[in-house]
Structure 1
Amino acid sequence: MSEHTPIGLENDTRAVRALTHSGNFHADETLGYAILHYALAPEGDLRGRVLGEPGTDRLTFVRTRSPDRIAEADIVFDVGGVFDPTKGRYDHHMKDKPLREDGTPYSAAGLLWKDYGLAAVRNIVKTPVDETTLTAIWQSLDKSLIIPVDQDDNGVAKMGKLSLADIVSACSPPWDTAELYGAEEAKKRESLGFANAATAVAAHLVNMVDRVRASLKAANRVVEAYEAAEDKRILLMETGMPTEKVIFERDLPVVYVVSPAGPEQWNVKAIPPVRGDFGQRVSLPEAWGGLEKKALAEISGVPDAVFAHPARFICGAGSREGALKMARLALEIDASLKAGTD
């Protein structure tokens, strides 16, 4: 993160003029613009600024390669040939380009994320969280979103089709726009394309921030539930949420996760041997597979049993107690089968 106070964050009322280049645009400068928007003036019109519509917030934004306009701007990114964050300069195209500690070259988005990302996260998150959580969100997005953009923009590794980079590129007008409609219309369509791309990127950024926030919250809940469990093989979650990531990251010996699947059903989900893989650490009983309601209730002995998937990775009951009983029975049956083969 930043080792100095970035321009605009030392005073939340001063006017800030941000600038990037005109012409072809990519994921790094559209994401960079979205970062500045949420860090400095999240109440403003992100799309309207790009299209030159008058605004009332403190951030203005232009796309140009004019040396005079570049010199006048407070924050210049992805253009200008200078990297000096203390002066608001965030280009990365020079020979002596800024690098991460592991040698990965920064993109303009990466440089702006380093200085303005935490402020952007703070303004995006709408529920109360502490600074430790905000920093964890910043770090998670740096790894999952920003570094891939850095790598793609610098030719280290492509993000691939249907990636954020591909979506941004698809917003650019076709190569023959000027030929078909004239230079002035082509310029308008380029600005509209950038506005569309920035809007999409900003929505993606907001969604990712909120999903990471929720993921961190889920991690705490999972750990609490595991610590409270009598049988560490059965994880009882009182609310449905992602659990597998935490189970594997912390190497928890959980076999089944019991959680609500609606107002009148609780499910038992088997954990796979490898994260994201098919299969189960302990499959549900073979005799249950594919049965529903009365037939399943009779063979399992759980009166409110609802279903058991034929692949034996998930089953459900009408109550919390019924689902817990199914999880315990499944473990007992597995243990007896293993004892019979010894």
Structure 2
Amino acid sequence: MAEYTPVGLENDTRPITALTHSGNFHADETLGYVILHYALAPHGDLKGRVLGESADDRLRFERSRAPDRIGAADIVFDVGAVNEPARGRYDHHMKNKPLRDDGMPYSAAGLLWKDYGLAAVRHLVATPVDDATAEAIWRAIDGSLVVPVDQDDNGVAKMGKLSLADIVSACGPAWDTAEVYGVQEAKRREAQGFANAAGIVAAHLTHMVDRVRASLKAADRVVAAYEQAEDKRILIMDTGMPTEKVIFERDLPVVYVVSPAGPKQWNVKAVPPVRGDFGQRVSLPEAWGGLETTALAKVSGVADAVFAHPARFICGAGSKEGAVTMARRALEIDAASRA
């Protein structure tokens, strides 16, 4: 977080001109532009501003390498060979690159996220959140999206094919566009490509922020459900939501998670031994695997049993009570088999 007030955040009315370089564009400067959009002028025209079609907008945006345009802009990023955030300069191409605390070089987007990310998050969330939640979202997006962009843009590690970086690059015109269509058309296609890329990045960032917000909400509910559980090995959730992250981060001894899978079904899902892995801490009973309805009800003793997957990591019943009973009986059968 900044120890100074970043340019444009001192008030919300002063017109701000932001500039990045022209020519080939990447995930770095595209994400940087999107961050500034949400931090400073979230109601503006994201694409129209790039294409020069948005006149009434607090944030003005340019793509140029001309020294006079760079000097005149309020915020300059990924160009200019200067990193002085207090006066709106965010380049990272100099010999002494700006570094994170762990030594990782920042990209321009990383530098902008450090200063403007929290303001962007507050505009991206659908409903207001408290300071602690906003900062938690900011940190989560920093680790999951911004750091990979830092790594990719600095040649530390590629994001890979079909990554955000690859998709952004694919929005640019082909190398021979000027040769085939002429210089003016090449410039038009480059601007349109950047605008399209910005739209993609903006949608991705918006969805990521909302998913992180929901993940934090889920964490609180998972912890509350665990604290109320009679048998700490069985986590009963009244709403379907991600639970595995919290279980492993907090080292909870949960074996089965019971949650609704629709209006007429509740599932029992086995927790894997390692987060994201296949396998189960305790597999469902071997005799249940692959059975459905009547056959499963007969073997399990649960009248409204619906199914048990052949891999024995999930099963279901028609009611919450039936699913909880299946979880308890699975644990009893496992204990008996070990006796």
TM-score interval for Structure 1 and Structure 2 normalised by the shorter chain: over 0.9
Cα deviation for residue 54 of structure 1 reads 2.5
Secondary structure of 1:11's match? coil
Superposed displacement of residue 208, structure 1: 0.6
1:20 and 1:62 in contact (8 A); partners too:
yes
Aligned residue type for 2:216: L
Task: Give the CA deviation at 1:284.
Answer: 0.7
The equivalent of 1:262 in structure 2 is 262
- Verify the 8 A CA contact 1:141 1:209 in the aligned structure 2: yes
Please tell me whether the aligned partners of residues 44 and 55 of structure 1 are also in contact (alpha carbons under 8 angstroms).
no
Match of 1:211 in 2: 211
Q: Secondary structure at the match of 1:306?
A: strand
Cα deviations by residue, 1:128-150 (Å, 9 ceiling, x for unpaired)? 32110100000011111111101
CA contact (8 A) 1:18 1:73 kept: yes
> Which residue number corresponds to residue 80 of structure 1?
80
2:194 match: 194
Paired amino acid for 2:195: A
Corresponding residue of 1:33: 33
Asked if the contact 1:8/1:14 (under 8 Å) is kept, the reply is: yes
CA distance in 2, matches of 1:54, 1:314: 53
1:97 is matched with 97
Matched, 1:171 2:171: yes
Matched position secondary structure for 2:147: helix
SS at match of 2:189: helix
Q: Which residue of 2 aligns with 1:311?
A: 311
CA contact under 8 A between 2:39 and 2:117: conserved in structure 1? yes
Q: CA deviation at 1:169?
A: 0.6
Report Cα offsets for 1:136-176 as digits up to 9, x if no partner.
Answer: 00001111111110111011111111111101110110100
Instruction: Provide, for residues 285-333 of structure 1, a one-character-per-residue CA deviation record: whole Å limited to 9, x for no partner.
Output: 1111111111111111111110111111100000000000000010111
Tell me which residue corresponds to 1:13.
13
Map of 1:334 onto structure 2: 334
Query: How far did 1:275 drift?
Result: 1.1
1:261 Cα offset (Å): 0.1
Unaligned runs of 5+ in 2: none
CA displacement 1:229-287 (0-9 Å, x = unmatched) = 01000000000000011111111100000000000000000011111111111111111
Which residue matches 1:276? Answer: 276
1:4 has 2:4 as partner: yes
- The question of 1:107 aligning with 2:102 is answered no
SS in 1 for 2:61: strand
Gaps of 5+ in 1: none
| Residues 51-70 of structure 1 aligned to structure 2 (within 5 Å) | 51-70=51-70
Asked whether the equivalents of residues 122 and 128 of structure 2 are also in contact (C-alpha less than 8 Å), the reply is no
**TM-aligned CA deviation for residue 50 of structure 1:** 0.4
Counterparts of 1:288 and 1:143, CA distance in 2: 41
Displacement of 1:57 = 2.3
TM-score under structure 2 length normalisation:
0.99
Q: Which amino acid aligns with 2:118?
A: L
**Partners in 1 of 2:234 and 2:333 — Cα distance?**
15
Q: Which runs of 4+ in 1 moved over 4 A?
A: none
Partner SS, residue 17 of structure 1: strand
Cα distance in 1 for partners of 2:197, 2:3 equals: 30
1:118 touches 1:134 (CA, 8 Å); kept in 2?
yes
- Secondary structure of the 2:138 match is helix
Partner of 2:248: 248
**Does the CA contact (< 8 Å) of 1:26 and 1:169 recur in 2?**
yes
Aligned-partner residue type, residue 335 of structure 1: A
Give the match for residue 140 of structure 1: 140
Q: Deviations over 1:107-145 (max 9, x none)?
A: 110000000000000000012321101000000111111
Question: What is the aligned-residue RMSD (CA, Å)?
Answer: 0.7
Conserved 8 A contact 2:35-2:117: yes
